[in-house]
Amino acid sequence: MSNLITYHPDRYYRSRPFVKTLLNIYKQTAGLGVPTMETLNAVGNSFMQFYNTALLELPFDLRPTSAQVTTQEVSLFMHYARFDRNGRNIFHFQPVLTTLLRQTDVDDVIFDAIKLPYDSLYIAFGKQPDLNLWGQGYFVDGAYISTASMGSANTLQILLTTIRTDLDYASKPNFILQPDRYYYFPLNFTEKSTTVKTAIEKSITEHQPFTPKEVPDTTGIHLNHGREITIVDRGKLTQREVAENNREGFPTFLEAIKLVVNGLCYLSSQHREIDTRFPDDAPKGLLEKLQRASKPAEVNRTNRKLASMGYTKIHFCGDKIQKQLDSLPTGGEPAAHWRRGHWRNQAYGIKFSEHKLLWIMPTIVRKDKGEPLTGHIYDVDADETRSG
Protein backbone atom coordinates (compact mmCIF):
# COMPACT_ATOMS: atom_id res chain seq x y z
CA MET A 1 0.00 0.00 0.00
CA SER A 2 1.34 3.44 -0.91
CA ASN A 3 2.42 5.68 1.95
CA LEU A 4 -0.10 8.21 0.65
CA ILE A 5 -2.94 6.01 1.91
CA THR A 6 -1.17 3.83 4.50
CA TYR A 7 -1.62 6.27 7.37
CA HIS A 8 -4.86 7.94 8.37
CA PRO A 9 -3.41 11.50 8.42
CA ASP A 10 -2.40 11.11 4.77
CA ARG A 11 -5.72 9.55 3.74
CA TYR A 12 -7.56 12.31 5.54
CA TYR A 13 -5.55 15.12 3.96
CA ARG A 14 -6.02 13.74 0.45
CA SER A 15 -9.79 13.22 0.71
CA ARG A 16 -10.86 16.48 2.40
CA PRO A 17 -11.17 19.54 0.14
CA PHE A 18 -11.47 21.82 3.18
CA VAL A 19 -8.29 20.83 5.05
CA LYS A 20 -6.01 23.69 3.99
CA THR A 21 -8.59 26.38 4.68
CA LEU A 22 -9.53 24.97 8.08
CA LEU A 23 -5.88 24.48 9.05
CA ASN A 24 -5.25 28.19 8.47
CA ILE A 25 -8.19 29.04 10.73
CA TYR A 26 -6.96 26.60 13.37
CA LYS A 27 -3.45 28.06 13.19
CA GLN A 28 -4.71 31.61 13.68
CA THR A 29 -6.94 30.82 16.66
CA ALA A 30 -5.20 27.93 18.45
CA GLY A 31 -1.56 27.95 17.37
CA LEU A 32 0.27 25.03 18.95
CA GLY A 33 -1.86 24.94 22.08
CA VAL A 34 -5.14 23.32 23.05
CA PRO A 35 -7.97 24.63 20.83
CA THR A 36 -10.55 26.90 22.42
CA MET A 37 -14.28 27.35 21.79
CA GLU A 38 -13.32 30.22 19.50
CA THR A 39 -11.32 27.77 17.41
CA LEU A 40 -14.11 25.20 17.36
CA ASN A 41 -16.74 27.77 16.33
CA ALA A 42 -14.56 29.30 13.61
CA VAL A 43 -13.65 25.89 12.20
CA GLY A 44 -17.25 24.69 12.40
CA ASN A 45 -18.64 27.72 10.59
CA SER A 46 -16.12 27.44 7.77
CA PHE A 47 -16.65 23.69 7.47
CA MET A 48 -20.40 24.11 7.07
CA GLN A 49 -19.82 26.25 3.98
CA PHE A 50 -17.79 23.45 2.39
CA TYR A 51 -20.29 20.86 3.55
CA ASN A 52 -23.33 22.65 2.15
CA THR A 53 -21.60 23.15 -1.22
CA ALA A 54 -20.65 19.46 -1.40
CA LEU A 55 -24.15 18.44 -0.27
CA LEU A 56 -25.80 20.29 -3.14
CA GLU A 57 -23.73 18.23 -5.60
CA LEU A 58 -25.24 14.96 -4.31
CA PRO A 59 -28.54 13.46 -5.47
CA PHE A 60 -31.29 14.28 -3.00
CA ASP A 61 -31.83 10.64 -2.00
CA LEU A 62 -28.15 10.26 -1.01
CA ARG A 63 -28.00 13.27 1.28
CA PRO A 64 -27.63 12.46 5.01
CA THR A 65 -30.69 13.10 7.14
CA SER A 66 -28.70 13.51 10.35
CA ALA A 67 -26.46 16.39 11.41
CA GLN A 68 -24.28 13.83 13.20
CA VAL A 69 -22.12 13.62 10.07
CA THR A 70 -21.08 17.26 10.42
CA THR A 71 -20.35 17.19 14.16
CA GLN A 72 -18.27 14.02 13.81
CA GLU A 73 -16.32 15.45 10.88
CA VAL A 74 -15.49 18.67 12.74
CA SER A 75 -14.41 16.69 15.81
CA LEU A 76 -12.15 14.48 13.69
CA PHE A 77 -10.61 17.53 12.04
CA MET A 78 -9.79 19.09 15.41
CA HIS A 79 -7.71 16.05 16.38
CA TYR A 80 -6.04 16.00 12.97
CA ALA A 81 -5.31 19.74 13.12
CA ARG A 82 -3.58 19.55 16.50
CA PHE A 83 -1.50 16.65 15.20
CA ASP A 84 -0.58 18.68 12.13
CA ARG A 85 0.32 21.82 14.09
CA ASN A 86 2.57 19.82 16.44
CA GLY A 87 4.80 18.55 13.64
CA ARG A 88 2.87 15.70 11.99
CA ASN A 89 4.74 13.03 13.95
CA ILE A 90 3.71 9.53 12.85
CA PHE A 91 5.06 6.52 14.75
CA HIS A 92 4.86 3.30 12.71
CA PHE A 93 4.98 0.14 14.83
CA GLN A 94 6.31 -2.89 12.99
CA PRO A 95 4.06 -6.01 13.01
CA VAL A 96 6.19 -8.05 15.45
CA LEU A 97 6.38 -5.21 17.95
CA THR A 98 2.63 -4.70 17.60
CA THR A 99 2.07 -8.38 18.39
CA LEU A 100 4.21 -8.14 21.53
CA LEU A 101 2.36 -5.04 22.67
CA ARG A 102 -1.01 -6.69 22.16
CA GLN A 103 0.14 -9.49 24.44
CA THR A 104 1.07 -7.06 27.22
CA ASP A 105 -1.41 -6.03 29.91
CA VAL A 106 -1.89 -2.35 30.75
CA ASP A 107 -4.50 -2.17 33.53
CA ASP A 108 -1.89 -1.34 36.20
CA VAL A 109 0.18 1.12 34.16
CA ILE A 110 0.47 4.42 36.04
CA PHE A 111 -0.09 7.52 33.95
CA ASP A 112 2.79 9.42 35.57
CA ALA A 113 5.24 6.92 34.07
CA ILE A 114 4.19 7.77 30.50
CA LYS A 115 6.23 10.55 28.90
CA LEU A 116 4.88 11.60 25.50
CA PRO A 117 7.54 12.72 23.01
CA TYR A 118 5.11 15.34 21.64
CA ASP A 119 1.89 16.97 22.85
CA SER A 120 0.10 15.41 19.89
CA LEU A 121 1.09 12.48 17.68
CA TYR A 122 -0.29 9.62 15.60
CA ILE A 123 0.46 5.95 16.31
CA ALA A 124 0.10 3.56 13.37
CA PHE A 125 -0.28 -0.20 13.93
CA GLY A 126 -1.74 -1.22 10.60
CA LYS A 127 -5.14 -2.85 10.15
CA GLN A 128 -6.02 -5.13 13.06
CA PRO A 129 -8.38 -7.76 11.58
CA ASP A 130 -9.96 -8.64 14.93
CA LEU A 131 -10.57 -5.03 15.97
CA ASN A 132 -13.66 -4.49 13.84
CA LEU A 133 -15.56 -1.55 15.31
CA TRP A 134 -19.30 -2.20 15.43
CA GLY A 135 -18.76 -5.30 13.29
CA GLN A 136 -19.29 -3.17 10.19
CA GLY A 137 -15.89 -3.40 8.49
CA TYR A 138 -14.21 -0.46 10.21
CA PHE A 139 -10.88 -1.94 11.34
CA VAL A 140 -8.74 -0.11 13.89
CA ASP A 141 -5.39 0.86 12.36
CA GLY A 142 -4.02 3.60 14.62
CA ALA A 143 -4.82 6.47 16.96
CA TYR A 144 -4.39 10.21 17.40
CA ILE A 145 -3.01 10.90 20.87
CA SER A 146 -2.93 14.30 22.57
CA THR A 147 -2.78 15.74 26.06
CA ALA A 148 -4.81 18.46 27.70
CA SER A 149 -5.25 19.96 31.15
CA MET A 150 -8.78 20.58 32.39
CA GLY A 151 -8.71 22.12 35.84
CA SER A 152 -6.92 19.72 38.15
CA ALA A 153 -7.21 16.82 35.72
CA ASN A 154 -4.73 15.81 33.05
CA THR A 155 -6.47 14.25 30.08
CA LEU A 156 -5.09 11.79 27.58
CA GLN A 157 -7.28 12.10 24.49
CA ILE A 158 -7.46 8.97 22.36
CA LEU A 159 -9.14 8.83 18.97
CA LEU A 160 -9.00 5.42 17.30
CA THR A 161 -8.91 5.60 13.51
CA THR A 162 -10.22 2.93 11.18
CA ILE A 163 -9.62 1.65 7.68
CA ARG A 164 -12.05 -0.17 5.41
CA THR A 165 -11.23 -2.95 2.97
CA ASP A 166 -14.13 -2.15 0.63
CA LEU A 167 -12.94 1.36 -0.28
CA ASP A 168 -10.35 2.47 -2.80
CA TYR A 169 -8.64 5.20 -0.83
CA ALA A 170 -6.44 6.08 -3.80
CA SER A 171 -9.59 7.40 -5.53
CA LYS A 172 -10.29 9.83 -2.67
CA PRO A 173 -13.66 8.65 -1.25
CA ASN A 174 -16.41 11.23 -0.84
CA PHE A 175 -16.21 12.49 2.76
CA ILE A 176 -20.01 12.73 3.02
CA LEU A 177 -20.97 9.40 1.47
CA GLN A 178 -18.01 7.45 2.92
CA PRO A 179 -17.18 9.25 6.18
CA ASP A 180 -14.41 8.07 8.46
CA ARG A 181 -15.71 6.37 11.56
CA TYR A 182 -13.68 6.57 14.71
CA TYR A 183 -13.90 5.95 18.43
CA TYR A 184 -13.03 8.74 20.84
CA PHE A 185 -12.40 8.27 24.54
CA PRO A 186 -10.69 10.65 27.01
CA LEU A 187 -8.78 9.30 30.01
CA ASN A 188 -8.67 11.67 33.00
CA PHE A 189 -5.78 11.35 35.44
CA THR A 190 -6.47 13.49 38.51
CA GLU A 191 -3.61 11.96 40.47
CA LYS A 192 -0.13 10.87 39.40
CA SER A 193 -0.74 7.38 40.80
CA THR A 194 -3.91 6.83 38.73
CA THR A 195 -3.76 3.60 36.75
CA VAL A 196 -5.17 3.05 33.28
CA LYS A 197 -7.92 0.79 34.63
CA THR A 198 -8.96 3.38 37.21
CA ALA A 199 -8.85 6.18 34.63
CA ILE A 200 -11.19 4.26 32.30
CA GLU A 201 -13.64 3.63 35.13
CA LYS A 202 -13.56 7.30 36.17
CA SER A 203 -14.04 8.51 32.61
CA ILE A 204 -17.16 6.36 32.24
CA THR A 205 -18.53 7.78 35.50
CA GLU A 206 -17.70 11.41 34.68
CA HIS A 207 -18.51 11.54 30.95
CA GLN A 208 -21.38 9.02 30.84
CA PRO A 209 -20.61 8.04 27.22
CA PHE A 210 -23.31 5.34 27.17
CA THR A 211 -26.10 7.67 28.31
CA PRO A 212 -27.78 10.01 25.78
CA LYS A 213 -27.20 13.68 26.58
CA GLU A 214 -30.30 15.70 27.38
CA VAL A 215 -31.04 18.20 24.62
CA PRO A 216 -34.17 20.32 24.03
CA ASP A 217 -36.67 19.02 21.48
CA THR A 218 -37.73 21.81 19.10
CA THR A 219 -40.03 19.62 17.02
CA GLY A 220 -43.25 21.42 16.14
CA ILE A 221 -44.72 24.27 14.13
CA HIS A 222 -42.75 27.53 14.26
CA LEU A 223 -43.22 31.00 12.81
CA ASN A 224 -40.54 32.22 10.43
CA HIS A 225 -41.06 35.75 9.05
CA GLY A 226 -44.79 35.36 9.50
CA ARG A 227 -44.95 31.91 7.89
CA GLU A 228 -45.61 28.64 9.69
CA ILE A 229 -42.98 25.96 9.17
CA THR A 230 -42.80 22.44 10.55
CA ILE A 231 -39.52 21.41 12.17
CA VAL A 232 -38.58 17.83 12.99
CA ASP A 233 -35.77 17.94 15.54
CA ARG A 234 -33.55 14.82 15.43
CA GLY A 235 -31.39 16.00 18.33
CA LYS A 236 -32.64 13.46 20.85
CA LEU A 237 -32.45 10.65 18.28
CA THR A 238 -28.89 11.66 17.40
CA GLN A 239 -27.85 11.59 21.05
CA ARG A 240 -29.32 8.09 21.40
CA GLU A 241 -27.37 6.99 18.32
CA VAL A 242 -24.13 8.44 19.72
CA ALA A 243 -24.62 6.70 23.07
CA GLU A 244 -25.43 3.39 21.35
CA ASN A 245 -22.33 3.64 19.15
CA ASN A 246 -20.21 4.33 22.23
CA ARG A 247 -21.65 1.32 24.03
CA GLU A 248 -21.32 -1.09 21.11
CA GLY A 249 -17.78 0.02 20.26
CA PHE A 250 -16.47 -0.01 23.82
CA PRO A 251 -15.32 -3.68 23.94
CA THR A 252 -13.20 -3.07 20.82
CA PHE A 253 -11.82 0.09 22.41
CA LEU A 254 -10.80 -1.84 25.53
CA GLU A 255 -8.80 -4.25 23.37
CA ALA A 256 -7.30 -1.43 21.31
CA ILE A 257 -6.23 0.46 24.43
CA LYS A 258 -3.60 -2.25 24.96
CA LEU A 259 -1.95 -1.14 21.76
CA VAL A 260 -2.25 2.57 22.46
CA VAL A 261 -1.00 2.61 26.05
CA ASN A 262 1.66 0.00 25.41
CA GLY A 263 2.81 1.99 22.41
CA LEU A 264 3.11 5.11 24.58
CA CYS A 265 5.01 3.14 27.22
CA TYR A 266 7.39 1.92 24.52
CA LEU A 267 7.94 5.48 23.28
CA SER A 268 8.64 6.55 26.88
CA SER A 269 11.44 4.01 27.22
CA GLN A 270 15.08 4.94 26.80
CA HIS A 271 15.47 1.58 25.11
CA ARG A 272 12.98 2.30 22.39
CA GLU A 273 14.25 1.53 18.91
CA ILE A 274 13.18 4.24 16.47
CA ASP A 275 14.53 4.98 13.01
CA THR A 276 13.23 8.19 11.44
CA ARG A 277 13.25 8.07 7.65
CA PHE A 278 11.16 8.63 4.56
CA PRO A 279 8.92 5.69 3.57
CA ASP A 280 10.17 3.22 0.98
CA ASP A 281 7.88 4.49 -1.79
CA ALA A 282 9.10 8.10 -1.60
CA PRO A 283 10.58 9.33 -4.94
CA LYS A 284 14.15 8.06 -5.02
CA GLY A 285 15.31 10.98 -7.18
CA LEU A 286 14.26 13.50 -4.57
CA LEU A 287 15.75 11.43 -1.74
CA GLU A 288 19.08 11.29 -3.56
CA LYS A 289 18.89 15.03 -4.17
CA LEU A 290 18.25 15.52 -0.46
CA GLN A 291 21.33 13.48 0.43
CA ARG A 292 23.50 15.48 -1.95
CA ALA A 293 22.19 18.84 -0.77
CA SER A 294 24.87 20.89 0.96
CA LYS A 295 22.99 24.13 1.57
CA PRO A 296 20.11 24.54 4.08
CA ALA A 297 18.01 26.32 1.44
CA GLU A 298 18.31 23.35 -0.91
CA VAL A 299 17.45 20.91 1.90
CA ASN A 300 14.38 22.94 2.84
CA ARG A 301 13.29 23.24 -0.79
CA THR A 302 13.55 19.49 -1.36
CA ASN A 303 11.73 18.70 1.89
CA ARG A 304 8.92 21.07 0.88
CA LYS A 305 8.71 19.35 -2.49
CA LEU A 306 8.41 15.94 -0.83
CA ALA A 307 5.82 17.29 1.60
CA SER A 308 3.77 18.76 -1.24
CA MET A 309 3.63 15.26 -2.72
CA GLY A 310 2.48 13.82 0.61
CA TYR A 311 5.81 12.44 1.82
CA THR A 312 7.14 13.23 5.28
CA LYS A 313 9.53 11.35 7.52
CA ILE A 314 8.04 8.53 9.59
CA HIS A 315 9.29 7.27 12.98
CA PHE A 316 9.64 3.50 12.44
CA CYS A 317 9.59 1.47 15.67
CA GLY A 318 10.88 -2.09 16.02
CA ASP A 319 12.91 -2.56 12.80
CA LYS A 320 15.49 -4.84 14.45
CA ILE A 321 13.01 -7.19 16.08
CA GLN A 322 11.09 -7.40 12.81
CA LYS A 323 14.26 -8.36 10.90
CA GLN A 324 15.09 -11.00 13.49
CA LEU A 325 11.72 -12.67 12.99
CA ASP A 326 11.89 -12.37 9.20
CA SER A 327 15.23 -14.22 9.24
CA LEU A 328 13.83 -17.24 11.10
CA PRO A 329 12.84 -20.36 9.10
CA THR A 330 9.10 -20.81 8.61
CA GLY A 331 6.82 -23.83 8.42
CA GLY A 332 6.38 -26.86 10.64
CA GLU A 333 6.58 -24.95 13.90
CA PRO A 334 5.19 -26.81 16.95
CA ALA A 335 2.02 -25.53 18.59
CA ALA A 336 2.61 -22.62 20.94
CA HIS A 337 0.76 -20.09 23.04
CA TRP A 338 1.55 -16.72 24.56
CA ARG A 339 2.50 -16.06 28.14
CA ARG A 340 1.30 -12.50 28.54
CA GLY A 341 3.58 -9.62 29.39
CA HIS A 342 2.97 -6.66 31.64
CA TRP A 343 4.45 -3.40 32.87
CA ARG A 344 5.89 -3.34 36.38
CA ASN A 345 5.54 0.00 38.16
CA GLN A 346 8.69 0.79 40.14
CA ALA A 347 8.74 3.68 42.58
CA TYR A 348 11.87 5.84 42.83
CA GLY A 349 13.01 9.35 43.65
CA ILE A 350 12.43 11.42 46.78
CA LYS A 351 10.16 9.47 49.12
CA PHE A 352 9.52 7.17 46.13
CA SER A 353 7.09 9.72 44.70
CA GLU A 354 7.96 9.01 41.05
CA HIS A 355 7.37 5.92 38.93
CA LYS A 356 9.13 4.20 36.08
CA LEU A 357 8.14 1.16 34.05
CA LEU A 358 9.76 -2.23 33.60
CA TRP A 359 8.46 -4.13 30.57
CA ILE A 360 8.13 -7.82 31.30
CA MET A 361 7.82 -8.90 27.70
CA PRO A 362 5.38 -11.60 26.60
CA THR A 363 6.97 -14.92 25.67
CA ILE A 364 5.94 -17.87 23.53
CA VAL A 365 5.47 -21.19 25.30
CA ARG A 366 6.23 -24.05 22.89
CA LYS A 367 4.84 -27.45 23.76
CA ASP A 368 7.96 -29.24 22.51
CA LYS A 369 10.27 -27.14 24.70
CA GLY A 370 8.37 -27.00 27.98
CA GLU A 371 9.48 -23.68 29.41
CA PRO A 372 9.22 -20.56 27.24
CA LEU A 373 12.20 -18.65 25.96
CA THR A 374 13.29 -16.05 28.50
CA GLY A 375 12.04 -12.57 27.74
CA HIS A 376 13.66 -9.25 28.57
CA ILE A 377 12.96 -6.63 31.16
CA TYR A 378 13.11 -3.12 29.73
CA ASP A 379 13.80 -0.44 32.34
CA VAL A 380 12.39 2.87 31.14
CA ASP A 381 14.90 5.00 33.04
CA ALA A 382 17.88 2.72 33.64
CA ASP A 383 21.00 2.77 31.51
CA GLU A 384 21.03 -0.93 30.74
CA THR A 385 18.66 -3.63 29.52
CA ARG A 386 18.72 -6.67 31.73
CA SER A 387 17.85 -10.24 30.82
CA GLY A 388 15.32 -11.84 33.12
Helix (DSSP H) and strand (DSSP E) numbers for the chain = 11, 17
CB 138 within 8 A of CB 178: no
Bridge partner list, 157? 146, 186
Residue type, position 5, single letter: I
Instruction: Indicate the residue type of 86.
Output: N
**Confidence band for 373, pLDDT divided at 50, 70 and 90:** very low
Bridge partners, 348 (sequence order): 354
* pLDDT reading at 191 higher than 70: yes
What is the Cα–Cα distance from 168 to 177, expressed in whole angstroms?
13
Helices 37-56, 68-85: inter-axial angle, 10-degree rounding:
120
Burial (CB < 10 A; 0-12, 13-18, 19+), residue 56, is exposed
pTM, two decimals, is: 0.84
Alpha-helical regions (H) of 269-336? 284-292, 296-308, 319-326
- The residues that bridge with 345 in the sheet, in sequence order, are 357
pLDDT digits (tens, 9 = 90+) for 267-298: 987 678 899 999 888 889 999 898 888 888 98
231 versus 170: which is more confidently predicted?
170
The pLDDT value recorded for residue 379 is 43
pLDDT value at position 189?
78
pLDDT band at 129 (very low <50, low <70, confident <90, very high): very high
Q: At residue 381, does pLDDT exceed 60? A: no
Most confident of the ranges 249-258, 262-271, 327-336: 249-258
State pLDDT tens for residues 66-122: 778 898 999 999 999 999 999 999 999 999 999 999 999 988 888 878 888 999 999
Q: Which of 11-15, 77-81, 231-235 has the lowest mean pLDDT?
A: 231-235
pLDDT over threshold 80, residue 384: no
Half-sphere exposure of 138 (CA within 13 A, CB side): 18
Question: What pLDDT is stored for residue 67 in this prediction?
Answer: 75
Mean pLDDT of 18-34: 90
Interval 17-24 mean pLDDT: 95
**CB atoms near residue 251 (< 10 Å):** 11
Q: Mean pLDDT score of the chain, rounded to an integer? A: 83
Domain boundaries, the chain: 3-210+238-276
